[in-house]
């Protein structure tokens, strides 16, 4: 796995060895960021961050800052290692160790807003998260913010926000929603 483009393009990333975490492939990330277009100056929230690849790619391509949320200890250690090896730290990149639900609740309580949110839960969880996530996400979206969901094509992540794009890569389904 590597950073696809930007200032950190070509740099290697570690991936968690857990069977629960499945990092977004280089090919899918490359296509996703081509679809998203310029992201200079955006604030990013990466829920279920796994290896941190999506947030790191965003930072490499010009995002202003990224908050990475990961509950799994092993994956959080990998994110920390990836950030350290790339020279990324606070305030540009901040790791929150904990659940996506708690991170969303805290962000809403603190009146934080984000321009781009990546929502890539374990494939067995999308149905459980959709309604709750949509409520909380709606409170932290900046004007014209986008939310990218990644799920198994057989169990799409349903988010009650207008969908502006949908792409399938094998069994992976990427949807882009905009407020």
| Phi, psi (rounded to 5 degrees) for 35 | -70, -40
Cα–Cα distance for residue pair 122/29, rounded to 1 Å: 17
Specify the pLDDT at position 64: 98
Query: What is the CATH number that goes with domain 26-178?
Result: 3.40.50.150
Specify the pLDDT at position 17: 81
What does the domain layout of the chain look like in residue ranges? 26-178
Q: Report DSSP state, residue 11.
A: -
Token pair in block for residue 166: 């949908």
What burial letters (b/e) apply to 122-133, b meaning 16+ CB within 10 Å?
ebeebeebbeeb
Please state whether beta strands 172-178 and 43-47 pair in parallel, antiparallel, or not at all (unpaired).
unpaired
* Nearest Cα residue to 141 out of 121, 161, 155: 161
Specify the pLDDT at position 51: 94
Q: In 10 A of CB 8, how many CB atoms?
A: 18
- CA 40 vs CA 20, 33, 64, 91, 126: distances in Å: 31, 12, 7, 16, 29
Specify the pLDDT at position 21: 63
Residue ranges in the chain modelled with pLDDT below 70: 18-22, 123-133
Specify the pLDDT at position 164: 96
Specify the pLDDT at position 131: 64
**CB-facing half-sphere around the CA of 122: CA atoms within 13 A:** 12
Cα–Cα distance for residue pair 19/1, rounded to 1 Å: 16
Q: What is the 3-state secondary structure (H, E, C) of 18-86?
A: CCCCCCCCHHHHHHHHHHHCCCCCCEEEEECCCCCHHHHHHHHCCCCEEEEEECCHHHHHHHHHHHHHH
């Amino acid at each position: 796995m590597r950073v696809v483009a930007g200032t950190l393009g070509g740099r290697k990333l570690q991936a968690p060895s857990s069977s629960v975490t499945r990092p977004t492939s280089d090919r899918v990330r490359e296509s996703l960021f081509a679809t998203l277009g310029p992201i200079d100056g955006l604030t990013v929230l990466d829920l279920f961050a796994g290896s941190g690849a999506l947030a790191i790619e965003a930072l490499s391509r010009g995002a202003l800052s990224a908050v990475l949320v990961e509950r799994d200890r092993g994956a959080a250690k990998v994110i920390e290692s990836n950030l350290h090896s790339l020279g990324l730290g606070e305030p540009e990149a901040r790791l929150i160790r904990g659940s996506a639900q708690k991170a969303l609740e805290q962000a809403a309580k603190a009146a934080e807003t984000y321009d781009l949110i990546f929502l890539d839960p374990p494939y067995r969880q999308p149905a459980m998260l959709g309604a709750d996530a949509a409520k909380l996400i709606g409170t932290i979206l900046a004007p014209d913010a986008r939310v990218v969901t990644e799920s198994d094509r057989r169990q799409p992540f349903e988010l009650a926000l207008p969908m502006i794009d949908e792409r399938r890569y094998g069994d992976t389904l990427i949807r882009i929603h905009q407020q």
